[in-house]
Amino acid sequence: MQNPNFLIVGSGIAGLTAALFCAKQGKVLIVTKSTLLESSSRYAQAGVAAVRNFKWDSFEEHVADTLEAGCHDNDKRTVKFLVENAPKMVDWLEHKIGVKFQKEPTREAAHSHSRVWNTKDSTGEAIEKALAKKVRANKNIKILTQASLLDLIVEKKVCRGAWLRLNGNNEIFPVFANKIVLATGGYGQLFAKSTNPEVSVGDGIAAAARARAKLKDLEFIQFHPTALVGRQTRLTLLSESLRGEGAVLRNARGERFMPTYNKAGELAPRDIVSRAIFSEMKQGKVFLDFTRASEKFLSERFPLVWREVGKAGFNLAKDLIPIFPVAHYSCGGVVTNLRGETSVKNLLAVGEVAQTGLHGANRLASNSLAEALVFGKAVAEKLKSSEVQTVTIKAPKYFFDTKDDVAVRKIVQKTMWERVGIVRNTKDLREALNTFEKLEPRSFAAQNIVLVARLITKAALARKKSLGTHFLED
Ligand SMILES: Cc1cc2nc3c(=O)[nH]c(=O)nc-3n(C[C@H](O)[C@H](O)[C@H](O)COP(=O)(O)OP(=O)(O)OC[C@H]3O[C@@H](n4cnc5c(N)ncnc54)[C@H](O)[C@@H]3O)c2cc1C
């Protein structure tokens, strides 16, 4: 395979955006674990946060909302950079990529105004498909699907490329590049219940850790308050914009409980709403109630949710819908600056895998698609292509075994869910770490999962005080 100037690992909105901008500077290869579209990005419902109407909104308020949700643990420079650049990226999507947003933005929790740009409730899919179309048509971009990153090739502290593998094939091969961009997304699938797809197990974090890149804030895992109750691992999200448009939460006694937990009620930051639901669930089921809205409004405004709720046997306009909080978003990751540069030369990270300092201890809703877009462009800004240097290296030995992967994944998911979840305590965290340290995964994917679970649990143990999504009951 011809070595590209820029190797991009991952094809969510961050990877595809980075690919389009990098392709202006040189040859790009996108490597992605599943199909081109499969990613958390494609399941995003609500939209992209961006201030585009200054009559009722301002950059200052978007900055203030982001800091408030993040418990002021954010990097203010990054927040300002994101807020000021997000509108340009929404314009880019609309005018250059062909995404057709609704005329008016919607509102989500912890935003002081309606500023979430959407295509009803399948916004991620609309953006992902439109970007994929442009990527496929770009002569400077090659795509390798069903191929996984194993390890980064780092020589004398400089990243030169990556070891890759076609899924189901035991042969591995190196690809060298001027720059390697990690866009591998988050790790929600390390939990038994999550909104994330199967690919989101933190492979990029594991590879970056082995390459000794600086990682930060892995313990800040956002639980989305309202997933539709079900048995599967990837659960259907009931978008926050439902609450933004007037849905309320009720406990087993039918009482609306959120106003007693926070003055913002159902529109409080996600960590607060998730913990309130978790607490109410000790007394029984918790429900989303949007029975005040009409069938016409709900089926037209939230067609995806309407369909999914229907498939589960409920009518959104007539029934109370059983919900619970599930793992949703990884706020921490590989530390980067405003151009996506990591602590390892030539290694960049963008999107959910990165820790830019934007989210602090808890992400403000709809800031992550904005982040994937803004930083997807920023990583390419100062790039220059040059002749790709290859290095002679001995191929590492890997062992692949799907049975081991599945068995280990189950143990890790159960342990993370029960002991490293919404409400944590030191005893549980120690027991979780103990479980992970006793596991002896033989297979590569299983080793990755255990490594990331250990890193998260150690980070949670190291943070002695509750902050945002990291809540200690002891
Ligand atoms: C149900 C749901 C709803 C959401 N709604 C919103 C919303 O309304 N607004 C918002 O801002 N955010 C939302 N989010 C969060 C947002 O979708 C994600 O944070 C964002 O899409 C992440 O984009 P990404 O490109 O960084 O990662 P992803 O979209 O997750 O893409 C990661 C890519 O990396 C690939 N990959 C992973 N490991 C490897 C490997 N080893 N080798 C090769 N490829 C690999 C994957 O296959 C995938 O292509 C939502 C998330 C979910 C799950």
Which residue has a Cα nearest atom 51 of ligand 1?
44
pLDDT at 233: 77
For the stretch 301-319, pLDDT in tens is 999 999 999 999 999 999 9
Residue 90 — φ and ψ, nearest 5°? -70, -40
The region, left, alpha or beta by phi > 0 then psi within -120 to 50, assigned to residue 351 is left
363 as an active site residue: the answer is: no
Contacts of 331 (CB under 8 A, 6+ apart): 217, 220, 221, 222, 355, 359, 360, 361, 362, 363, 468, 469
Angstrom CA distances, 6 to 31, 91, 384, stand at 11, 26, 10
The radius of gyration of the chain's CA atoms, rounded to the nearest angstrom, is 21
What is the Å distance from ligand 1's center to 471 Cα? Answer: 24
Q: State which of 17, 31, 184, 189 you would mutate to test the pocket of ligand 1, scoring each by most atoms of that ligand within 8 A of its C-beta.
A: 184
Which residue has a Cα nearest atom 9 of ligand 1?
366
201-202-207 Cα angle (round to 5): 135
Rounded Cα–Cα distance for residues 227 and 235 (Å): 6
pLDDT at 300: 95
What is the Å distance from ligand 1's center to 41 Cα? Answer: 4
Tell me if 412 sits within 8 A of 190, measured CB to CB: yes
What is the Å distance from ligand 1's center to 133 Cα? Answer: 18
pLDDT at 385: 86
Q: pLDDT under 70 in the chain at which residues?
A: 1
Rounded Cα–Cα distance for residues 277 and 270 (Å): 10
Strand arrangement of the beta sheet that strand 147-155 belongs to? 147-155, 158-166, 172-176
Rounded Cα–Cα distance for residues 370 and 364 (Å): 11
pLDDT at 232: 80
State the closest ligand 1 atom to the C-alpha of 45, by its place in the atom list counted from 1. Answer: 8
Q: Looking at the chain, how many residues does it have?
A: 474
Rounded Cα–Cα distance for residues 58 and 305 (Å): 30
pLDDT at 142: 98
This model's pTM is above 0.95 = yes
Domains and CATH numbers, the chain: 6-220+331-378 (3.50.50.60), 225-327 (3.90.700.10), 402-462 (1.20.58.100)
For the stretch 332-347, pLDDT in tens is 999 999 999 999 999 9
State the closest ligand 1 atom to the C-alpha of 46, by its place in the atom list counted from 1. Answer: 8
